[in-house]
Amino acid sequence: MAVAVDCRDVVKTFGTGDAAVKALRGVTLRAEAGEMTLLVGPSGCGKTTLITAIAGMLTPDSGAVSVFGTDIRTLSRGRLTAFRARSVGFVFQQFNLLPALTATENASIPLRVIGLPAREANRRAAALLDRLGLAAHRNRFPAELSGGQQQRVAIARALVHEPRLVVCDEPTASLDAASGRAAMELLRELAVRGDRAVIVVTHDDRIFSFADRIAHMADGRIEDIATQEAQAA
Amino acid sequence: MAVVALRMLFGDRAKYLGLVFGVAFATLLVTQQGGMFVGLMTRTASVIDDVREADIWVMDPQAQYIDTVRAMRDTELGRVRGVAGVAWAVPFYKASAPVKTLDGRIDNALLLGIDDATLIGLSRDIKLGRPEDLHRPDAIAIDEAGYLRLWPGEKLRLGRELELNDHRAVIVAITGASAAFTANIIIHAPYTRAIDYLPQGRDTLSFVLARAAPGQSPASVARAITVRTGLQALSSADFRWKTIDYYLAKTGIPISFGLVIVLGVVVGIAIVGLTFNMFVAENLRQYGALKAMGLSDLRLVGLVLLQGSVVGLMGFGIGLGLAACFFTFATQPPGALRGFSLPWWVAAGDAGLTALIVLLAMFASLRRVLVLDPAIVFR
């Protein structure tokens, strides 16, 4: 199985002197392609800092971060931006849908970012929304959708450009149990494929069953990584 | 992505309207005041502009502008006529005269004495009557706005009488003379009659109007007149600017209008800047999401600039339209603002100022977007 994400001895400190906060203290993590990896742990343990580094939005002080073989520390700012546009999909806790855009237009944004014409981007986004059961809500604005529907639009937006890595930050935190479960099922069904990987930061133990691997973090370190089988056992 | 930027902008209707209002308000203020200022300055030289036949003005060496009249001896006219390069020269009289209608209404008029024989100096715009009737006894021409000031709401009619410095005067022509800076009523009368209306000392000649012979430039002939006569001679264009320059330098008019224009710019920057900053602040997470999804800083700046440009164009269009309406409707004759207009270059200058307002207003917001950490979406 190919390695999707390979973090080695990643260190990140915010601030200096007495105010310095060591967010990551030498994190080593491997996430395999075709798997969903959950990052779990208490607040402030470094989960978000780690996925921010994996998504190429934060440069670690030391250590290596490789995503599908690309050492993102070696990429220039411009290449990193282009890398994110093509290779990474995002699902945010607060959805971050643009309120003035319809569901289709919101879902089409990553395609527009990589330069696809609006019409084609909308066509592809609409097709994906149909698959996600939102055919009747394509032209609705976020304010007209329920939380679960908004999250499905956000999932469509994360997947529409077929990225190899999908990064999710607390994707079920703003949803009720049923909607959260439905969102995770969709992520598993659409995003976890042979050459793709999903990394999810979560506190929600109700979704642990969707993971192939669960990495427990504490105090800026990975304490242990357990496979689903091991968890079940 | 342009559509996304515009939908973001139009989606926040309150702020969008606030932004457009800010730009429109600044544009209206700057354009209206700019146009008024230009109109006022043009009005200071309207007497010069209305004398189309002459291209040289000869006056006392101490005269600083059109309204500092120091009479010359009548013999100066002959001396000017004798200068090589002068095609012709005629006398011109300019004074202020009290006017009284038969029903007792009083006002002050600008009395212009024009050449008895040729009537050079008379406004070419004749609304009613015939110029040659000015040769009749007591005949004068009055401007339309002045007529309506003396007889408000009444139809233009020839043959009406009035008293000009207690002398009888009969209106035989009504002109469309340009509004003057110092008076609301403009009366033209033949030179010899005009000086009779306002008896003065021995010297009565306010100006000599002359024309350069064909092939000669007015400026060079004017210089020759000065050399030969010792009088001050200027081409019409030079005298016009000398008059405007005097008002620019010696009165508070430019400061007054300039302050309003500066205030318009400052208020525009403040309103647009604050509103745009609020707009960007409230959409910071959306910008952050776009940045996280791989939108480059350059394209993000492009989106913000597009939003600012649309606001600028809309606001400028509305402000300019309102200013144009003002200059169209409020300056109709015989109103006090008649003759004021909105020159294209004032509008063009205001377009530049509007662009400056929008750019300065957006500067802080642009910086905010540029330094925005895309990881904000994870917080």
- Quick: pLDDT tens for A161-191: 989 899 988 888 777 777 778 778 878 877 7
**Which residue do the tokens 């164009």 mark?**
B313
Cβ atoms of B80 and B168 closer than 8 Å: no
> Does residue B185 surpass a pLDDT of 80?
yes
Backbone angles phi, psi at B49, to 5 degrees: -65, -35
Q: Which of B181, B166, B190, B176 is nearest to B111 (CA)?
A: B190
Residue B377: other Cβ atoms inside 10 A: 25
Q: Please return the burial class of B319, using the count of CB atoms within 10 Å of its CB with bins 0-12, 13-18 and 19+.
A: buried
Cβ atoms of A196 and A34 closer than 8 Å: yes
* Residue B311 φ/ψ region, left for φ over 0, alpha for ψ in the -120 to 50 degree band, beta for the rest: alpha
Average of per-residue pLDDT across B227-240: 94
Q: Give the residue from chain A lying closest to B284, CA to CA.
A: A96
Cβ atoms of A50 and A217 closer than 8 Å: yes
Backbone angles phi, psi at B93, to 5 degrees: -115, 140
Shortest distance, CA B263 to any CA of chain A (angstroms): 34
% of chain B beyond a pLDDT of 90: 45
Cβ atoms of A121 and A157 closer than 8 Å: no
B374 touches chain A (CB under 8 A): yes
pLDDT tens digits for range A54-67: 988 888 888 999 98
Average of per-residue pLDDT across B182-198: 89
Q: Would you call A113 and B375 a contact, using CB atoms and an 8 Å cutoff?
A: no
Lowest mean pLDDT among A78-82, A202-206, B87-91, B294-298: A202-206
Side chain identity at B159, as an amino acid letter? G
CB nearest to B289's CB, from A58, A86, A92: A92
Query: What was the pLDDT predicted at B207?
Result: 94
Query: What was the pLDDT predicted at A204?
Result: 82
In 3-state terms, what secondary structure has residue B273?
Answer: helix
Q: Would you call A58 and B293 a contact, using CB atoms and an 8 Å cutoff?
A: no
Q: Which of B133, B113, B131, B111 is nearest to B121 (CA)?
A: B113
Query: What was the pLDDT predicted at B143?
Result: 93
Q: Residue A8 — very low, low, confident or very high, per pLDDT cuts 50/70/90?
A: very high
Query: What was the pLDDT predicted at A20?
Result: 85
In 3-state terms, what secondary structure has residue B104?
Answer: coil
C-alpha–C-alpha distance, residues A191 and A228, integer Å: 18
In this structure, the strands spanning B167-175 and B139-143 are parallel
Q: What is the pTM of this model?
A: 0.76
Test the A interface: residue of B293, B371, B379 with most A CBs within 10 Å: B293
- Cβ neighbours of residue B6 closer than 8 Å, sequence gap 6 or more: B306, B307, B310
- Cβ neighbours of residue B279 closer than 8 Å, sequence gap 6 or more: B9, B12, B15, B19, B307, B365
CB nearest to B295's CB, from A93, A100, A113: A113
Residue-averaged pLDDT of chain A: 86
C-alpha–C-alpha distance, residues B175 and B78, integer Å: 30
Q: Which residues of B touch A82 (CB under 8 A)?
A: 294, 296
DSSP code, position A2: -
CB nearest to A100's CB, from B8, B289, B290: B8
> Does residue B201 surpass a pLDDT of 80?
no
Q: Would you call A51 and B374 a contact, using CB atoms and an 8 Å cutoff?
A: no
Query: What was the pLDDT predicted at B89?
Result: 94
In 3-state terms, what secondary structure has residue B46?
Answer: helix
Query: What was the pLDDT predicted at B157?
Result: 93
Q: Please return the burial class of B150, using the count of CB atoms within 10 Å of its CB with bins 0-12, 13-18 and 19+.
A: buried
> Does residue B48 surpass a pLDDT of 90?
yes
The enclosing H or E element of B184 equals none
Side chain identity at A232, as an amino acid letter? A
Average of per-residue pLDDT across B353-372: 84
C-alpha–C-alpha distance, residues B159 and B339, integer Å: 27
pLDDT tens digits for range B152-170: 889 999 999 999 988 999 9
Average of per-residue pLDDT across B112-123: 92
B286 touches chain A (CB under 8 A): yes
Q: Which of A99, A115, A89, A119 is nearest to B299 (CA)?
A: A115
pLDDT tens digits for range B135-150: 999 999 999 989 998 9
Average of per-residue pLDDT across A46-51: 89
Q: Which of B41, B42, B38, B19 is nearest to B30 (CA)?
A: B38
Cβ atoms of B33 and B349 closer than 8 Å: no
> Does residue B74 surpass a pLDDT of 80?
yes
Q: Which residues of B touch A51 (CB under 8 A)?
A: 378
Cβ atoms of A183 and A155 closer than 8 Å: yes
B4 touches chain A (CB under 8 A): yes
Average of per-residue pLDDT across B281-301: 87
Q: Which residues of B touch A48 (CB under 8 A)?
A: 375, 378-379
pLDDT tens digits for range A82-122: 888 998 998 887 888 888 899 999 999 999 999 899 899 99
- Could you tell me which residue, A195 or B310, shows the higher pLDDT? B310
**Strands, DSSP E only, in A68-220?**
70-71, 88-91, 165-169, 197-202, 213-218
C-alpha–C-alpha distance, residues B135 and B367, integer Å: 74
The C-alpha R_g of chain B, in whole angstroms, comes to 29
- Could you tell me which residue, B336 or B352, shows the higher pLDDT? B352
The enclosing H or E element of B255 equals helix B253-282
Tokens of B118: 């040729």
% of chain A beyond a pLDDT of 70: 97
Tokens of B236: 């019409």
Q: Give the residue from chain A lying closest to B283, CA to CA.
A: A98
Shortest distance, CA A233 to any CA of chain B (angstroms): 33
Query: What was the pLDDT predicted at A1?
Result: 64
For the complex shown, is ipTM > 0.90?
no
B303 touches chain A (CB under 8 A): no
Residue-averaged pLDDT of chain B: 89
Query: What was the pLDDT predicted at A232?
Result: 60
Query: What was the pLDDT predicted at A231?
Result: 62
